[in-house]
């Protein structure tokens, strides 16, 4: 019986595809960070509007429908200018809560002629004269649909100029007269006409188009009024809203929150069977729905070979060779496109005793 097991194992080695390098996987017990945090110098504090737990200071409007277009804390690096979001430089920038910035407050941003520094001589882009959306500090990270809808643009905003405007851009029509725009992407996962769910990964952020660094430009625009920009944070200033096209606070519950979806977090177990230590029981699972797994066997020489994969959590028996050690790496992609991966402990298959049939 054991001979047959070995034959199957050796045959399987030849049937497996080209090994991928084990360096793509983390060592056992290690896993990649779920989120990458990144910020411009001088903007190191997480404020109430971007950490997914704060409050905008105004209640949600009756039409509130948005959740944050990413998961995990990411700071705002440029605000929507209520005075006035037309990319003109009129010298004053007004934040959703009434805070104003101008050359008199922090002084000109030394590296950006449409900006005013948050701190004197600072170089932070937070106050961006005429900005018509919000910039979030995402590096090259998954971007999520802020609400369900139909993709109406998934392309370069200007196909003839890859360093212009918002570069690779997605627009989603939410059927309520508003569209959301996601700019400067490095990768687009959706196509025009496709329906997307809230929290679905639609692309990867980047710095295509006109950008000084990787970030996500997120904008809300009125489809029926010449795509007039709308501030999703509404207006909670102590003086009248200087911008006449606001539609109130558009965040569900009144504050920016992450989409209420289960994020993947793979766990992989591997243990030899008590009555046959060459048989290793491997099992993998993760939160999330619509999960698809790829499971790799990693050999002690470092090669890593596709071994199992299926929909839903699973388990299988791996037949190892005496004197060899193995571990297992599983990656998962949820139905909404979020991914996670993790490794099992190392399992060593003992040498066979002399005299034992092999
Ligand atoms: Zn922007």
Ligand 1 midpoint to CA 266 (Å): 34
Task: Compute the average pLDDT of residues 121-149.
Answer: 84
Q: Select from 305, 322, 317 the least CA-distant residue to 13.
A: 305
Question: Minimum mean pLDDT among 15-24, 102-111, 267-276, 292-301: which range?
Answer: 15-24
Ligand 1 midpoint to CA 174 (Å): 21
Confidence category of residue 219, pLDDT binned at 50, 70, 90: very high
Ligand 1 midpoint to CA 42 (Å): 18
Ligand 1 midpoint to CA 260 (Å): 25
Give the model's pLDDT for residue 123. Answer: 52
Q: Which comes out higher in pLDDT, residue 357 or 151?
A: 151
Ligand 1 midpoint to CA 9 (Å): 55
Ligand 1 midpoint to CA 65 (Å): 21
Give the model's pLDDT for residue 91. Answer: 81
CB 185 within 8 A of CB 206: yes
- The CB density around residue 286, as the number of other CB atoms within 10 Å, is 25
Please tell me the pTM assigned to this model: 0.82
Ligand 1 midpoint to CA 25 (Å): 35
Ligand 1 midpoint to CA 267 (Å): 38
Ligand 1 midpoint to CA 150 (Å): 22
Ligand 1 midpoint to CA 161 (Å): 17
Ligand 1 midpoint to CA 122 (Å): 19
What are phi and psi for residue 74, nearest 5 degrees? -145, 130
Question: Minimum mean pLDDT among 30-44, 165-179, 279-293, 312-326: which range?
Answer: 30-44
The answer for residues whose C-beta is within 8 angstroms of residue 84's C-beta and 6 or more apart is 90, 130, 242, 243
Is 80 exceeded by the pLDDT of residue 79?
yes
Give the model's pLDDT for residue 20. Answer: 35
Ligand 1 midpoint to CA 166 (Å): 8
Residue 57: both structure tokens together: 């200071």
Ligand 1 midpoint to CA 242 (Å): 20
Give the model's pLDDT for residue 114. Answer: 57
CB 228 within 8 A of CB 178: no
Q: pLDDT of 155-174, one tens digit each?
A: 999 999 999 899 999 999 99
Ligand 1 midpoint to CA 53 (Å): 23
Give the model's pLDDT for residue 265. Answer: 92
CA distance 54 to 244: 26
Residue 32: both structure tokens together: 């990649």
Give the model's pLDDT for residue 16. Answer: 33
CA distance 167 to 78: 17
Percent of the chain with pLDDT over 90: 55
Residue 22, helix vs strand vs coil: helix
Is 50 exceeded by the pLDDT of residue 297?
yes
Ligand 1 midpoint to CA 189 (Å): 21
Task: Compute the average pLDDT of residues 70-99.
Answer: 85
Q: Select from 310, 339, 298 the least CA-distant residue to 28.
A: 298
What is the torsional sign of CA 199, 203, 209, 214? positive
Ligand 1 midpoint to CA 134 (Å): 6
Give the model's pLDDT for residue 43. Answer: 40
CA distance 165 to 328: 44
Q: Which residues have beta carbons under 5 A from ligand 1 (an ion)?
A: 135, 217
Give the model's pLDDT for residue 88. Answer: 79
Q: Select from 276, 317, 311 the least CA-distant residue to 297.
A: 317
Give the model's pLDDT for residue 352. Answer: 77
Give the model's pLDDT for residue 320. Answer: 96
CA distance 150 to 179: 9
Running DSSP on this structure, what letter comes out for residue 96?
A: T
């Amino acid at each position: 019986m054991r001979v047959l097991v070995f034959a199957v194992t050796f045959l399987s080695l030849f049937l497996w595809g080209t090994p991928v390098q084990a360096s793509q996987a983390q060592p056992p017990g290690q896993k990649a960070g779920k989120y990458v945090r990144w910020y411009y110098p001088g903007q190191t504090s997480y404020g109430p509007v971007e950490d997914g737990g704060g409050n905008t200071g105004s209640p949600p409007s009756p039409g509130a429908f948005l959740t944050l277009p990413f998961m995990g804390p990411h700071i705002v690096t440029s605000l929507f200018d209520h005075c006035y979001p037309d990319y003109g430089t009129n010298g004053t920038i007004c934040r959703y809560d009434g805070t104003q910035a101008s050359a008199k407050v922090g002084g000109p941003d030394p590296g950006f002629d449409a900006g005013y520094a948050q701190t004197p001589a600072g170089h932070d882009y937070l106050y961006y004269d005429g900005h018509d959306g919000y910039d979030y500090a995402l590096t090259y990270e998954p971007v999520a649909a802020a609400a369900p809808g139909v993709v109406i643009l998934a392309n370069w905003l200007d196909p003839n100029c890859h360093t212009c405007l918002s570069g690779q851009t997605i627009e989603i029509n939410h059927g309520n007269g508003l569209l959301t725009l996601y700019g400067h992407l490095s990768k687009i996962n959706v196509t025009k006409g496709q329906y997307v769910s809230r929290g679905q990964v639609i692309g990867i952020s980047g710095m295509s188009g006109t950008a000084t660094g990787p970030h996500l430009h997120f904008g809300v625009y009125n489809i029926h009024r010449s795509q007039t920009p709308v501030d999703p944070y509404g207006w909670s200033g102590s003086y009248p809203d200087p911008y006449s096209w606001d539609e109130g606070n558009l965040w569900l519950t009144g504050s920016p929150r992450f989409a209420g979806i289960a994020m993947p977090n793979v766990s992989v177990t591997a243990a030899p069977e008590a009555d046959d230590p060459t048989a290793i029981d491997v099992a993998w699972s993760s939160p999330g729905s619509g999960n698809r797994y790829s499971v790799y066997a990693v050999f002690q020489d470092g090669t890593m070979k596709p071994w199992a994969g299926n929909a839903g959590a699973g388990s299988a028996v791996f037949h190892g060779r005496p004197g060899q050690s193995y571990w297992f790496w599983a990656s998962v992609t949820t139905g909404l496109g979020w991914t996670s991966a993790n490794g099992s402990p190392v399992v060593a298959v003992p040498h066979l005793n002399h005299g034992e049939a092999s």
